[in-house]
Structure 1
Amino acid sequence: MSTAPLTHDAPQHPGQDGRTRAGVRPTGWFRLTVARLERLAEDTVAITLDVPADLAGTFAHRPGQHVVVRHRTPGGELRRSYSLCPPPGDPAALRVVVKRNSPDGFGAYALTTLVEGDLLELSPPAGTFGLPAVRGGHHVLIAGGCGITPLAPMAAAALREDPGCRVSLVHAARTAHDALLADELALLKDEFVDRFTVLHVLSRERRESELCSGRIDAPKLLRLLELLDARPGPGTRFALCGPYGLVETVRDTLTGWGAPADAVRFELFSAAGTPASAEPATPPDRQGRHSRITAVLGGRTSVVTMRPEDRVALDAVLRHRPETPYSCRDGVCGSCRAKVVSGAVTLGSQYALDARDLDAGYTLACRARPRTDDLTLDFDA
């Protein structure tokens, strides 16, 4: 099986042994073999990929990162972003959890057609979502539905790497059957019985405890956090992942309770429910002017020009560099993150970059329009 990148222009930075230059983000597409399929629920499957030794460095990952799966169909190409979710006993495994959300998407294909031994096209791991390095702290993780997939490995890593920390996890799901990874979390609880707490809150199933039944609103959330002794403080950090409504409820509640913004990290698993927003507008002084974009990707530099039909910078870059990383195009997954090296952009609504990223000069190519005649974007940064 060939493991060469499946790009029109092969990335230059991965070495032949799979290692990458320090500070350079690996890009490109790679065919990996499906090693194992595990049905987690009627509409959800876990897919474990085999990573050849020569790609071990390229596909090394941290808890909270994601990959993009490229799925080719007769009607075109689908790209879907999935959090990496290795089982607690094998943190280096390359595993994703895929749910069927439509009758014709990649989830449907994975559940009905994909078999062990098939090949999937994946991008290397990317993303900055993760727990901060707070030794001996209390990590409070709140997940909704499939939002458990990045948080479960983050919990396992924190517990194993920091013997002085505590981890509390609240998982909101519809029913016990929908509480993904519950068995794996139970095993993790058995291993760290004094430092790990898991609460499942079921919205469509009555439980013995009223607190763990029904939807999580602000009053219920405060009661849950008090039960977990998870008040905002110097050693408490929060990580959230789920649908927009739940994440915003938790963020607003934590802010009102006194949690500083830098103590709360979050990730959305889709753009569903986010406020409707217009594309980033072309500044008045840019009307009729076509910016030149210099894109650094895979150690190579390409120069492209924005055309009138280009909505955002990504459209222009993709014409010349089709291997450019992206997935959702809604400013949610962060796959198209790039650093503005020179020039300036107008950034539309997005949910993947926090204040630290923006201050460091990062943008999302799928939500950015140039504000200057010349713009340099570094996708490797």
Structure 2
Amino acid sequence: MSTGFHPLTIAEVRRETADAVSIRFDVPDALKPLFTFRPGQHLTLRADLEGQDVRRNYSVCVAPQEGELRVAIKRVAGGLFSGFANEALKPGMVMEVMPPHGAFTWAFDPQAANRYVGFAGGSGITPVLSLLKSALLAEPKSRFTLLYGNRDTASIIFLEELAGLKDRFIDRLSILHFLEDEEEEVELFNGRLDRAKCAELLERVVSVADIAAFFVCGPGPMMDAVEQSLLERGVARDKVLLERFTADRPDAAQAAATAARAAEAAGAKVTLVLDGRRRSISFDPALGNILENARAAGVPAPYACKAGVCATCRGKLVSGKVEMGANYGLTAAEVEAGYILTCQSVPVGADVVVDYDA
């Protein structure tokens, strides 16, 4: 993954709901190899807002086969970037964009005849839609079931597009909507996707035995409910793919433990590899983690959320040891391969080498 930002011109701003837009970028031919994406991945966008360098991750909402690069941005209460995107972005404007990344993805096989299930809540539909469309386009013999929760009909992002996909793939796509603030005739479709609702759905609607993968994205409580319900029914953990947008702040005990680990690493030598260049720094515990130490030393290490969620700050631990706190962004396979989240890592001992280019 390229760690740098690139200026991309906005080709289209499309209003999806009253509080959500989708943004299509024009990608020059010279940058198309860099911006080739896998379904379910996201982009990091950067803007200077109110004197701040603000970075946010937004999932690509199209399939690679569609030949465009588009993300969706839902306004959140008090959200500096999401408010700016919904109010101010216009075609012709230029934004700084990092090439696609993220592990919430799947390698679809044209010869496969699989069944997939997506659980989405609110704006969590964005990466799930990319995966849904990719499954239907790339695997002509596969089927997809989408269970999508929202407050009401007006808040359903991509409502018309989903209806069009249902008509186009009528024998292979099933879509069930669940609304919190609107009463439907069938009681099953009323209310949020909580533990009780998920248990009922897995009992009555979704047979977990022959599902190749479950794609889950939405609010934290919904994702926890889905994950726990699936695991309780014996679904293998590697079949449950999760994409978290946010993470809770660490509690006092966790924060104290992190500070203690950082203090023990004071003065440890850390070597960073970025864009082919090596830079050695002395770890300062006051800065908290490897990422902040890198940035303070002038190394332009990539980042976005700084909460262990997005994996933008991912690097490969080439040598030495680190202790990593929260990890919502790396898969078990990536951790096994030696990747770390530098925003959550402190060195253990000396001679730590982290390669951002790997």
Q: Kindly tell me: are residues 358 and 279 of structure 1, through their superposed partners in 2, closer, same or farther at Cα, counting changes over 3 Å?
A: farther
Bigger mean CA deviation after superposition, 312-321 or 279-288: 279-288
Q: Kindly tell me: are residues 118 and 37 of structure 1, through their superposed partners in 2, closer, same or farther at Cα, counting changes over 3 Å?
A: same
Task: Specify the code of the residue in structure 1 equivalent to 2:237.
Answer: A
Tell me if the contact between 2:269 and 2:351 (Cα under 8 Å) persists in the aligned partners.
yes
Matched, 1:85 2:56: no
Counterpart residue number, 1:224: 201
* Structure 1: tracts of 5 or more residues without a match: 1-24
Counterpart residue number, 1:22: none
Residue 283 of structure 1 deviates from its aligned partner by: 6.3
CA RMSD of aligned residues (A): 2.2
Whole-Å Cα distance in 1 between the matches of residues 5 and 92 of structure 2? 18
Secondary structure (helix, strand or coil) at the match of 1:123 reads: strand
Matching of residues 1-381 of structure 1 within 5 Å? 25-86=1-62, 91-103=66-78, 105-133=80-108, 135-233=112-210, 235-272=211-248, 277-278=254-255, 281=258, 287=264, 289-381=266-358
Secondary structure (helix, strand or coil) at the match of 2:315 reads: strand
Residue 226 of structure 1 deviates from its aligned partner by: 4.2
Residue 259 of structure 1 deviates from its aligned partner by: 0.6
Whole-Å Cα distance in 2 between the matches of residues 154 and 279 of structure 1? 39
Residue 284 of structure 1 deviates from its aligned partner by: 6.7
Tell me if the contact between 2:179 and 2:190 (Cα under 8 Å) persists in the aligned partners.
yes
Counterpart residue number, 1:7: none
Tell me if the contact between 2:268 and 2:350 (Cα under 8 Å) persists in the aligned partners.
yes
Residue 298 of structure 1 deviates from its aligned partner by: 2.2
Q: Kindly tell me: are residues 178 and 47 of structure 1, through their superposed partners in 2, closer, same or farther at Cα, counting changes over 3 Å?
A: same
Tell me if the contact between 2:108 and 2:139 (Cα under 8 Å) persists in the aligned partners.
no
Secondary structure (helix, strand or coil) at the match of 2:100 reads: coil
Tell me if the contact between 2:39 and 2:64 (Cα under 8 Å) persists in the aligned partners.
no
Q: Kindly tell me: are residues 375 and 172 of structure 1, through their superposed partners in 2, closer, same or farther at Cα, counting changes over 3 Å?
A: same
Task: Specify the code of the residue in structure 2 equivalent to 1:225.
Answer: L
Task: Specify the code of the residue in structure 1 equivalent to 2:43.
Answer: V
Whole-Å Cα distance in 1 between the matches of residues 331 and 203 of structure 2? 27
Residue 343 of structure 1 deviates from its aligned partner by: 0.8
Task: Specify the code of the residue in structure 2 equivalent to 1:43.
Answer: D
Secondary structure (helix, strand or coil) at the match of 1:371 reads: strand
Task: Specify the code of the residue in structure 2 equivalent to 1:194.
Answer: D
Secondary structure (helix, strand or coil) at the match of 1:125 reads: strand
More helix by percentage: 2
Tell me if the contact between 1:173 and 1:202 (Cα under 8 Å) persists in the aligned partners.
yes
Whole-Å Cα distance in 2 between the matches of residues 183 and 305 of structure 1? 54
Task: Specify the code of the residue in structure 2 equivalent to 1:97.
Answer: A
TM-score of the superposed pair, with normalisation by structure 2? 0.92
